Amino acid sequence: MGYYLILDIGGTKTTGALFSEEGRPVKDLFIVAPSKTYEGCDAVFDNTVSVGREVLEKTGVEAAGLKGIGAAAPGPLDYNTGVIINVPLMGWKDFPLGPKLEKEFGVPVRLDNDGNLGALAEQRLGVAEGASSVVYMTVSTGCGGGIVINGEVYRGFTGSAGELGHMSIDINGIPCNCGANGCLELYASGTAMNRRMLRDMKNGVKSLAFEEIAYDPERISGKILGNAAEAGDEYALAFLQEEGRYLGAGLANYFNLFDPEVFVLGGGITHLKKWFYGEMMRTIERCAVSAVSPDRVRFSELNDKVVVYGAYCLISEYTDTVRL
């Protein structure tokens, strides 16, 4: 019997769990700690290690019982060497995260970014289980994603494939940090929705959504839209239809490019699907070159655990393949 230590290192928090060989989180235990970003490269690394140690301690498993470590880390990273190329908020520049974790715990380590791991998890054991090709996109603060083709994560020539949020849907649109204009995530992400709500509130738009937060700009969130839409608020309903059009435009592009068997949408946005789904599907129908049957567009059920499950798939398949 062996175990896999799973670490999901995010910009704000780090999650650790121990998975059995059957792919179950031991004791259903998930340790969540702040990532100590902005405290320097060693502080973030030491914090990651201590989350891992805490997982072992609380599950009563010795490091000797580990078969490997699967980790999700921010990119850009070199999937083959486990080196983080440049993540300023963690102080990681050419930082050999994989090799350092290997040295610390004495077991093989594989790491990848959360978009690729999300796609892997959905294709291996999520709502797209067994599909030959899958495109996965998570819509939360931004829009991240990953692509699985013929059962393998598609990383591209330089390892940077799957930047779904930076597909431009308007070359004259809003300027993006990436250098382009009109990237999908500037319209469809949670951040973009909040920005539009703030603009509308400042322009004097009246809505139950804004009444709920007493027109306090600090309290704008996707949740108020859902509540208002549920109550039949016209502004919220129209807003979420517009969201459906943005998402649909993006998805139509991905269907035209990859023709995936299944597209999986995840992230916080899925809570609002009831109100944007129809318009999203109509937009796909209008914009995709080939017909897309509704069962090919699915919503993630792994949700906030998708990356952790993906990291489990990554390391367990690796150790099985190399037969350690």
Say how far apart CA 120 and CA 147 lie, in whole Å.
8
Q: Is 166 in the site for Zn ion (CB under 5 A)?
A: yes
Q: Is 160 helix (H, G, I), strand (E, B) or coil?
A: coil
Q: Tokens representing 257?
A: 């490019």
Q: Tokens representing 183?
A: 């990237």
Say how far apart CA 256 and CA 164 lie, in whole Å.
13
DSSP-derived pairing of the beta strands 262-266 and 297-299: parallel
- Quote the least distance from Cβ 76 to Zn ion, whole Å: 14
Nearest CB to Zn ion, comparing residues 70 and 250: 250
Backbone phi, psi, residue 12, to 5°? -115, -40
Nearest CB to Zn ion, comparing residues 121 and 183: 183
- Quote the least distance from Cβ 180 to Zn ion, whole Å: 5
- Number of H helices and E strands in the chain, helices first, is 10, 13
Nearest CB to Zn ion, comparing residues 112 and 185: 185
Residue 306, H or E segment: helix 306-322
- Quote the least distance from Cβ 11 to Zn ion, whole Å: 17
Nearest CB to Zn ion, comparing residues 41 and 176: 176
Within positions 70 to 99, which residues make up the interface with Zn ion, using CB under 5 A? none
- Quote the least distance from Cβ 163 to Zn ion, whole Å: 8
- Quote the least distance from Cβ 186 to Zn ion, whole Å: 7
Nearest CB to Zn ion, comparing residues 29 and 89: 89
- Quote the least distance from Cβ 174 to Zn ion, whole Å: 9
Say how far apart CA 24 and CA 22 lie, in whole Å.
6
**Encoded amino acid at 207, one letter:** S
* Interface segment toward Zn ion; rule CB under 5 A; list 135-143, 159-167, 210-218, 269-277: 159-167
Q: Is 178 in the site for Zn ion (CB under 5 A)?
A: yes
To which residue do tokens 């502004």 refer?
A: 235
* Interface segment toward Zn ion; rule CB under 5 A; list 154-162, 183-191, 226-234, 255-263: 183-191
Is residue 184 within 8 Å of residue 143, measured between CB atoms?
Answer: yes
Count of residues that bind Zn ion according to CB under 5 A: 5
Residue 156: CB atoms within 10 Å? 10
- Quote the least distance from Cβ 110 to Zn ion, whole Å: 28
* Interface segment toward Zn ion; rule CB under 5 A; list 53-61, 154-162, 171-179, 301-309: 171-179
The strand pairing partners of 143, in sequence order, are 139
To which residue do tokens 């928090």 refer?
A: 13
Nearest CB to Zn ion, comparing residues 176 and 288: 176
- Quote the least distance from Cβ 167 to Zn ion, whole Å: 8
Q: CA 114, 119, 125 angle in degrees (round to 5)?
A: 115
* Interface segment toward Zn ion; rule CB under 5 A; list 62-70, 85-93, 102-110, 170-178: 170-178
Mapped to the 3 state alphabet, what secondary structure does 216-233 carry? CHHHCCHHHHHHHHHCCC
To which residue do tokens 């609380």 refer?
A: 58
* Interface segment toward Zn ion; rule CB under 5 A; list 19-27, 40-48, 180-188, 262-270: 180-188
Q: Is 176 in the site for Zn ion (CB under 5 A)?
A: yes
Q: Is 183 in the site for Zn ion (CB under 5 A)?
A: yes
| Residues engaged in binding Zn ion (CB under 5 A) | 166, 176, 178, 180, 183
